[in-house]
Structure 1
């Protein structure tokens, strides 16, 4: 049952990310500094690779969160949600902020990408807690 929980949680996190970035695509694209065409789309399209990497990383995050939850007795949706939010807020977002600071990226990216890390991990934790 554990692998099913990890897959469902990863899919939920990925789906949340799709909604998040579709909603914030304009601000995110502007904050990245990518060159855009007349329709506001990136000039250099990345293809499928970012989506494949995203899917794999969602599985890794969900798998490690499930392992951590099992080791620490996090066994309800509420505990999963709160712990997931904490993972995003106190592990992933600070790392994003550090990397973006050194690469001198637009601080708005920290808010957008960090917001996804926090809420996406919350979604993963909630789903894992339901299992």
Structure 2
């Protein structure tokens, strides 16, 4: 399994997440219950841990999707995008919805986080076939 496509796809998915959560920052902060600092930004952004977890998670998703795409012979950007979207929407998002439902989390939070899972996976899926 070549490492460069996995790293680039993982970084693309992670970069998409930075854009996604920049767009949805205010509603996400409002419904997530995350602690904020005096500026209204999440207080935990001062530590490296959230970034390490998110980048590592994106790499795990990219590696797993690379392996699956190889087995399924998904070799075009379009098929990679739609397959990634399906993986995110049909595998990751339902688990989030289940966990958030039992935890009593707001439905808006589910939509924001599940949307990132779906479209972030789509971005990863679109990058993998480039290699």
Q: Residues 1-131 of structure 1: matches in 2 within 5 Å?
A: 2-42=2-42, 44-45=43-44, 47-131=47-131
Deviation by residue 1:35-59 (Cα, 9 ceiling, x = unmatched) = 44553223x4251101101111111
Secondary structure in 2 aligned to 1:45?
A: helix
Cα distance in structure 1, aligned partners of 2:71 and 2:34? 42
Deviation by residue 1:6-62 (Cα, 9 ceiling, x = unmatched) = 0000000000000110111100000112344553223x4251101101111111000
Cα distance in structure 2, aligned partners of 1:60 and 1:37? 31
Unaligned runs of 5+ in 2: none
How many residues align structurally? 130
Shift of 1:105: 0.7
Cα distance in structure 2, aligned partners of 1:6 and 1:23? 26
- The TM-score normalised by the length of structure 1 is 0.93
Cα distance in structure 2, aligned partners of 1:112 and 1:82? 19
Which has the higher mean CA deviation after the structures are superposed, 17-26 or 28-37? 28-37
